[in-house]
Amino acid sequence: MTTPQDPQWQGQQPAPGSYPPPAEGGYPPPPPAGYPPPPPAGYPPPQPAGYPPPQQGGQPASGYPQSQFAAPAGVPKAAQNAFLCWTALAGLVLLSFVINLAMSIGSGGTVSGFLGIALAAGAAFGAREMRAGKSSGRTIAAVCGGVLGAFQLLGLVLILGVASLIGGAVVVISVLLIGVALGLVVAGMVFMFKPEVSAYLARR
């Protein structure tokens, strides 16, 4: 024996996704032909075809890998800024080395360029380890960055001393690159030794 539907639904086709109200007795009637059955109580509705399901915790699904430059969870902002400063310094030192080769500075400039690249790479590596919570990484970055900053300062003095012999364009480019490099060294040192970074490393 079937229970008659509500009179307002008789002779009408419900819209897709909607269902008639429950009939007397607490049990809803079966859905009309061509419509999916309603989900059980307490379960979310089915996801439309072609859309990925959301991740747990309300985070949207994403198929893109996290960037190596993005800060991991729990890393202080100062530690992330120090890492970015030392990484940018490594790229700047490499750019300066290429410019020096193009200007044919000489074998002395080539040797110092290789040394600068090694020190900048060491500082960037140390900052990466520091960001991962290793105190030894900050020590490596401080030593390599400090030595590199001293070399940059010495190079600035030498270039200004022979500015009249080199030429205007070379001096301007060299002073600009060295000035930016020194600024990154100072910024990296300041960010590395902020109290929140020390507290972060002490907890690891």
> Tens digit of pLDDT for each residue in 127-144?
999 999 999 999 999 999
For 2-16, what is each residue's pLDDT tens digit? 555 555 545 555 555
Pick the closest to residue 174 from 121, 84, 109, 86 (CA basis): 109
- The residues spanned by each domain of the chain are 77-203
What is the spatial distance between Cα 200 and Cα 79, in angstroms, rounded to a whole number? 9
For 133-187, what is each residue's pLDDT tens digit? 999 999 999 999 999 999 999 988 888 887 777 667 778 888 899 999 999 999 9
Torsion from C-alpha of 106, 110, 116, 117, nearest 10 degrees: 140
For 58-92, what is each residue's pLDDT tens digit? 444 444 455 666 777 889 999 999 999 999 999 99
What is the spatial distance between Cα 64 and Cα 75, in angstroms, rounded to a whole number? 21
Which residues have C-beta within 8 Å of that of residue 33, sequence separation ≥ 6? none
What is the spatial distance between Cα 192 and Cα 82, in angstroms, rounded to a whole number? 6
Is 153 exposed, middle or buried (CB count within 10 Å of its CB: 0-12, 13-18, 19+)?
Answer: middle
